[in-house]
C-alpha cells in the first residue's frame, strides 16, 4: 500500500502538470482587417487563423476558416496582424544605463535579474523571439531555460553564452589595470584556444556561437576598424561550430574583419559598419546575413555620458554611426540578405522597434524591414520550421497594430497586441 503522503504528493503533481498544460493548450480563433504575408510580400485582406496547442492549425479568409467549437475568439477588427517579431541581436542581461565603468559593479546575479525584467519588456514590444549575443556566467542559458519552461514572460530565446574573442579585444574586459587580472570568460587566442572556448560554450548550454572579429565602439582601447581574430582562428571556430551543429554570429565593424568572417563561413555579420564592395559581393555569394544596428547611434550620441559611455566610445560612435547607415543603404541596394538586429541593451529594452523606421529611411521598403525581422531572421536562426511566418504548423506567435504598418512603419514602435504560442500576452481587446 502506498502511504497517504505519497498518494497526496502524486495527486498534487498530476494537478500541477494539468494546470501547467492548460496555460499553454487550448484553441484560439483570430480575425483581423489585414495580415502582412511576409512570404509573398503582400497584404492579405480579412484573414482568419486558428491556433491549437500553441501552433497554427488553420489559416485563410474569414468565412473560409471555420470557428472550432469552444474556441476562444480574438477579434482584431481595425488591426493588421503580422508574425511575431524576431530581434537577432539583443543583450537582455545588460542595462542601457550602465555602460563603461558603471557596468563593472554588476554581478552575474544582477545580470540574471536584468534578463528577467528585459525579457518581458522585449515580449511586450512585440518580439516573440530573440537571439541573445553575449552574456557572462551563462545567465542567458538560465534565462532561456526558465522561459522555455514557461516560468517567465519573454521571447523564445536563442543564446550564445559568453562571446569568444581575442585577449584585449572587443569582447575582453579591458577596463582594469593588470593587477586585477581581469579577463572575460570568452577571451582566448590561437586556433586551438578558441576551439576550446567553442566546446566550453556548447558544454554549458549555448545554442550558437558569438565571436568578436574586430574592435568595437563600446570597448576600451580597441580600434573599431581593426581585425582582432586571425583568419585561422575564425576558420577554426566556424569548423568546430559546424561539427557541433551551431551557427556563428560575428561582431565585425572593420572592412578586413568582415571579409575574413564571411570567408570563414559565419552565418551573420553584426554591425558590418565599414563593409566595402568586395565584402558586399562576398556576403551575396556566400548567403551571409547582415545584422545592422542602425538605430543604436541615436541613443549613444544623445544619452552620452549620463549612461556611462566612455569618451573614446562617443568619439568612435561619431564616425561609425554615419558610415554604418551609408553601408546599410549600399548593402540593401545590392540585395544582400538582411536580418533585424538592434543591439538592445546598449539602448533601452522595449525600444527595439524604433529601428524599423530607420531601416526604411535608409533604403528598405516597409515590407523588407518586416521580412528582416520575421522570415529572414527565422532562416538565419535555422528555425524556419517553427518561426518567422504565419503558416500552418508553425508557432502561433503574432502581433497586431492599429492601422497599416506598410503605410506607416513607425506603428511597430507601439505594438498593441501580442500573442505567443496562442496565448494573448498583451492587449486583449
- Site for ligand ARG, rule CB under 6 A: 216-218, 271, 293, 296-297, 300, 317, 320-321, 324, 343, 346
Distance CA 137, CA 142 (A): 9
Minimum CB separation of residue 296 from ligand ARG in Å reads 4
> Contact at 8 Å (CB) between 13 and 383?
no
Strand stretches in 279-422, DSSP E: 289-291, 338-339, 398-402, 417-420
- Nearer of residues 341 and 405 to ligand ARG, judged by Cβ: 341
Query: What phi, psi does 31 have (nearest 5°)?
Result: -135, 150
- Nearer of residues 297 and 374 to ligand ARG, judged by Cβ: 297
- Nearer of residues 264 and 320 to ligand ARG, judged by Cβ: 320
Minimum CB separation of residue 113 from ligand ARG in Å reads 22
Minimum CB separation of residue 43 from ligand ARG in Å reads 31
Contacts of 187 (CB under 8 A, 6+ apart): 165, 166, 167, 169, 171, 172
Minimum CB separation of residue 336 from ligand ARG in Å reads 17
Q: Which residue of the chain is nearest ligand ARG when measured via CB?
A: 216
What sign does the dihedral 361-363-365-367 (CA atoms) show?
Answer: negative
Minimum CB separation of residue 263 from ligand ARG in Å reads 21
- Nearer of residues 96 and 394 to ligand ARG, judged by Cβ: 96
Distance CA 283, CA 272 (A): 11
Grid cell in block for residue 185: 570568460
Distance CA 347, CA 46 (A): 36
Grid cell in block for residue 73: 475568439
Minimum CB separation of residue 379 from ligand ARG in Å reads 23
Rounded to 10 degrees, the C-alpha dihedral 389/390/396/401 comes to 90
> Contact at 8 Å (CB) between 275 and 292?
no
Q: Quick one: which of 230, 231, 327, 313 has its CA closest to 274?
A: 327
Contacts of 114 (CB under 8 A, 6+ apart): 92, 93, 94, 95, 106
- Nearer of residues 213 and 381 to ligand ARG, judged by Cβ: 213
- Nearer of residues 317 and 397 to ligand ARG, judged by Cβ: 317
> Contact at 8 Å (CB) between 265 and 242?
yes
Minimum CB separation of residue 278 from ligand ARG in Å reads 21
- Nearer of residues 312 and 386 to ligand ARG, judged by Cβ: 312
- Nearer of residues 202 and 349 to ligand ARG, judged by Cβ: 349
- Nearer of residues 128 and 324 to ligand ARG, judged by Cβ: 324
Distance CA 104, CA 324 (A): 28
Q: Output the DSSP codes for 14-72.
A: HHHHHHHHHHH--EEEEEEEEEEETTTTEEEESEEEEEETTEEEEEEETTTSPPPTT-E
Amino acid at each position: 500500500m502506498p502511504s497517504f503522503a505519497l498518494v497526496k504528493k502524486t495527486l498534487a503533481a498530476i494537478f500541477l502538470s494539468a494546470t501547467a498544460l492548460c496555460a499553454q493548450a487550448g484553441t484560439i480563433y483570430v480575425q483581423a482587417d489585414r495580415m502582412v504575408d511576409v512570404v509573398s510580400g503582400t497584404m492579405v485582406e480579412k484573414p482568419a487563423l486558428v491556433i491549437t496547442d500553441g501552433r497554427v492549425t488553420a489559416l485563410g479568409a474569414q468565412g473560409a476558416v471555420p470557428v472550432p467549437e469552444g474556441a476562444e475568439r480574438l477579434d482584431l477588427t481595425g488591426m493588421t496582424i503580422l508574425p511575431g517579431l524576431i530581434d537577432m541581436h539583443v543583450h537582455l542581461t545588460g542595462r542601457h544605463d550602465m555602460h563603461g565603468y558603471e557596468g563593472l559593479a554588476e554581478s552575474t546575479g544582477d545580470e540574471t535579474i536584468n534578463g528577467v525584467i528585459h525579457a518581458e519588456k522585449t515580449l511586450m514590444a512585440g518580439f516573440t523571439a530573440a537571439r541573445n549575443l553575449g552574456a557572462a556566467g551563462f545567465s542567458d542559458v538560465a534565462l532561456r531555460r526558465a522561459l522555455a519552461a514557461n516560468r517567465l514572460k519573454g521571447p523564445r530565446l536563442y543564446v550564445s553564452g559568453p562571446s569568444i574573442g581575442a585577449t584585449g579585444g572587443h569582447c575582453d574586459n579591458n577596463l582594469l589595470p593588470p593587477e586585477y587580472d581581469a579577463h572575460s570568460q570568452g577571451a582566448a587566442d590561437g586556433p586551438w584556444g578558441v576551439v576550446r572556448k567553442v566546446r566550453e560554450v556548447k558544454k554549458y548550454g549555448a545554442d550558437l556561437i558569438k565571436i568578436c572579429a574586430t574592435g568595437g565602439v563600446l570597448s576600451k582601447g580597441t580600434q573599431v576598424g581593426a581585425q582582432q581574430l586571425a583568419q585561422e582562428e575564425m576558420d577554426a571556430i566556424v569548423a568546430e561550430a559546424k561539427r557541433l551543429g551551431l551557427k556563428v554570429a560575428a561582431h565585425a565593424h572593420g572592412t578586413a574583419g568582415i571579409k575574413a568572417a564571411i570567408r570563414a563561413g559565419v552565418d551573420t555579420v553584426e554591425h558590418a559598419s565599414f563593409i566595402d564592395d568586395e565584402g558586399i559581393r562576398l556576403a551575396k555569394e556566400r548567403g551571409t546575413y547582415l545584422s545592422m544596428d542602425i538605430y543604436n547611434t541615436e541613443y549613444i550620441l544623445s544619452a552620452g555620458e549620463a549612461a556611462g559611455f566612455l569618451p573614446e566610445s562617443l568619439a568612435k560612435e561619431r564616425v561609425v554611426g554615419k558610415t554604418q547607415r551609408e553601408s546599410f543603404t549600399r548593402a540593401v541596394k545590392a540585395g544582400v540578405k538582411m536580418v533585424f538586429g538592434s543591439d538592445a541593451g546598449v539602448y533601452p529594452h522595449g525600444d527595439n522597434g524604433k529601428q524599423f523606421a530607420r531601416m526604411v529611411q535608409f533604403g528598405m521598403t516597409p515590407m523588407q524591414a518586416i521580412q528582416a525581422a520575421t522570415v529572414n531572421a527565422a532562416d538565419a536562426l535555422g528555425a524556419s520550421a517553427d518561426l518567422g511566418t504565419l503558416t500552418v504548423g508553425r508557432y502561433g506567435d503574432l502581433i497586431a497594430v492599429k492601422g497599416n504598418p506598410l503605410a506607416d512603419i513607425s506603428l511597430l514602435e507601439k505594438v498593441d497586441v501580442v500573442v505567443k504560442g496562442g496565448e494573448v500576452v498583451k492587449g486583449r481587446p
